């Protein structure tokens, strides 16, 4: 996952977890959550601009509100490749990393519009848009490590040397 390329969808400030995954979807089975990703978005029609592998670019405080881990799980299942925001609410940020959804705090929104295609290198902290490379703060090393394992549980299992099949 050295570089991520995709179409950008630009969102605003304070995109809360009810917008990412509304309360009515909370009882849905785990593997069905992706169908409800961004179903509560307050502004714009997400479905018309969405494509698998796209990159969400938001403003302040993305993921504020509930602790529901279903929110980042839904984004991952919907094949959102990356969320970039000026800032993330703490619990959402940790949930996303724990389940292996890359989230990166960088203030890139101002220079982008929905439909742009960008290439992001999280380790280097660079964003390439229209052939122009911009530098931001690289992703923290420890976070990169968890993401490389695919989330906290696979990382912990690997570090503890647990090899027996995962329980269900």
> Using the rule CB under 8 A, which residue among 8, 11, 19, 38 binds other proteins?
19
Structure tokens at 146: 């968890």
> Using an 8 Å Cβ cutoff, are 61 and 87 in contact?
yes
The DSSP letter of residue 83 is: E
Q: Is 12 one of the binding residues for other proteins (CB under 8 A)?
A: no
Stretch of 4-12, 50-58, 69-77, 125-133 contacting other proteins, by CB under 8 A? 69-77
Q: According to CB under 8 A, which residues from 97 to 116 bind other proteins?
A: 98-99
> Using the rule CB under 8 A, which residue among 113, 115, 156, 158 binds other proteins?
156
Q: Least distance in Å: CB of 4 to other proteins?
A: 22
What strands, in cross-sheet order, belong to the sheet with 103-105? 103-105, 82-85, 55-58, 3-10, 117-121, 126-129, 132-135
> Using the rule CB under 8 A, which residue among 78, 143, 144, 152 binds other proteins?
152
Binding-residue total with other proteins (CB under 8 A): 43
Residues in Cβ contact with 160 at an 8 Å cutoff, skipping those fewer than 6 apart: none
Q: Least distance in Å: CB of 51 to other proteins?
A: 23
> Using an 8 Å Cβ cutoff, are 19 and 41 in contact?
yes
Q: Is 150 one of the binding residues for other proteins (CB under 8 A)?
A: no
């Amino acid at each position: 996952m050295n570089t991520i390329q995709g179409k950008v969808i630009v969102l605003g400030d304070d995109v809360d977890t009810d917008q990412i995954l509304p309360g009515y979807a909370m009882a849905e089975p785990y593997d069905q959550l992706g169908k409800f990703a961004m179903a509560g978005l307050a502004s714009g029609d997400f479905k018309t601009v969405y494509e698998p592998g796209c990159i969400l670019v938001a403003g302040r405080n993305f993921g504020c509100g509930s602790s529901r881990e279903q929110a980042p799980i839904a984004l991952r299942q919907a094949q959102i490749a990356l969320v970039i925001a000026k800032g993330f609410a703490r619990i959402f940020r940790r949930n996303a990393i724990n389940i292996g959804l890359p989230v990166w705090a960088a203030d890139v929104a101002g220079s982008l519009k929905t439909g742009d295609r960008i290439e992001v290198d999280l380790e280097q902290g660079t964003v390439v848009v229209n052939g122009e490379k911009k530098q931001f703060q690289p992703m923290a090393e420890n976070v990169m490590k968890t993401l490389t394992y695919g989330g906290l549980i696979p990382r912990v299992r690997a570090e503890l040397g647990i090899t027996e099949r995962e329980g269900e």
